[in-house]
Structure 1
């Protein structure tokens, strides 16, 4: 499993979704009261502040949401994410559980709670929540739950299930960059270096963002195993130039 830790760290936030609208999580829409409308607005604002890393303001908006409607499930889900980011794990766990008690079919809450459990070392417990999210036919983003199930299965060392979940993520959402990168890491772990390179190249073509230090370090190790010194050196130059102080750069220089 060498090298997997870097990949999971790079995706530490990718598994969490701060949607606050019940419809995103697969809860049927209904006519709402003024109190619920206010709670929804404040929860959506909280989600936006969470996405920006403004956690204090996000908590204030959640408090306003719960003042309007104390049993508004999405507010507890978003507060769970904020508390997860702040490493207030006991409170985060309580918020996710409370959100699911109020709305047991909210797929986003199941997905987010599963990711929380996975990140806190409870990978096997997390899978059942990803599966619960996927049982809901109204879930708008099943690829995310399949992706997270794959990453967490890989983290647990369950390579067979991880590959199956990641392939399902691609079936649901073709060319999903995170799933392609996950499969590249997985094939590297299996010592199938040609497969790892194939998925990495597809990832690179479909990834809208520049390659990170973690991405480049994976590419370097793949090419090193395949004996392609020219391509390895090309990636190494990018790593040294763009990330001179990164841990991956130091590892590369140490192993040369």
Structure 2
């Protein structure tokens, strides 16, 4: 493998990127018992690709990270958000439901759920998410956006 110049759109950092056999590197990292975060590279690559406006590539990386570790809530949230942006509201809804079962609720998750239910026309579910925002995150930007009617 040989080093080449690389650039990450997420951090703006320039660093050496090794060209050659990435498959062999992945195999070595999976076999290394001290490598405890095998999904981190795929998650980080997804975040970099999002910054570079490559949603298709980002979705592939997040799906890979989620397949390797279904408890990866960063990958799951980003998959849900990408599904929402692509207009696949039922898939996004399923992913947010799963996310709500797997992680602590935060305003970003609740806000995404509210917007999905709004797009699907589920007024009761939307109001339920709005009550969560009001009750648990009244000072959040997401709740302020809800009050102002700024859904996108």
TM-score, L = length of structure 1: 0.48
Residue of structure 2 in register with 1:135 after alignment: 25
Q: Distance in 2 between matches of 1:141 and 1:135?
A: 14
- 5+ residue gaps in structure 2? 30-34
Q: Distance in 1 between matches of 2:132 and 2:85?
A: 23
Shift in Å, 1:119: 4.2
**Equivalent residues of 1:193, 1:222 under 8 A apart:** yes
Matched, 1:185 2:81: yes
Bigger radius of gyration among the two = 1
Which structure has more RCO (C-alpha within 8 Å, separation ≥ 6)? 1
**Equivalent residues of 1:150, 1:165 under 8 A apart:** yes
1:142 alignment partner, SS class: coil
Residue of structure 2 in register with 1:242 after alignment: 136
2:139 alignment partner, SS class: coil
**Equivalent residues of 1:243, 1:249 under 8 A apart:** yes
Please point out which of 110, 116, 119 is paired with 1:216: 110
Q: Distance in 2 between matches of 1:236 and 1:199?
A: 19
Shift in Å, 1:168: 0.8
Residue of structure 1 in register with 2:32 after alignment: none
**Equivalent residues of 1:216, 1:235 under 8 A apart:** yes
Larger helix proportion of the pair:
1
Q: Please give the root-mean-square deviation of Cα atoms over the aligned residues, in Å.
A: 2.9
Residue of structure 2 in register with 1:199 after alignment: 95
Shift in Å, 1:223: 0.6
Q: List aligned pairs for 1:18-57, cutoff 5 A.
A: none
Number of residues of Structure 1 aligned to a counterpart in Structure 2: 137
**Equivalent residues of 1:185, 1:218 under 8 A apart:** yes
Q: List aligned pairs for 1:48-197, cutoff 5 A.
A: 117-120=8-11, 122=12, 135-136=25-26, 137-138=28-29, 139-197=35-93
Residue of structure 1 in register with 2:119 after alignment: 225
Residue by residue over 1:34-61, the C-alpha shift from the partner in whole angstroms, topping out at 9 and shown as x without a partner, is xxxxxxxxxxxxxxxxxxxxxxxxxxxx
Residue by residue over 1:178-211, the C-alpha shift from the partner in whole angstroms, topping out at 9 and shown as x without a partner, is 211110011011111111111111111111x2x1
**Equivalent residues of 1:153, 1:161 under 8 A apart:** yes
Q: Distance in 2 between matches of 1:142 and 1:118?
A: 21
Q: Distance in 2 between matches of 1:157 and 1:198?
A: 24
Larger strand proportion of the pair:
2
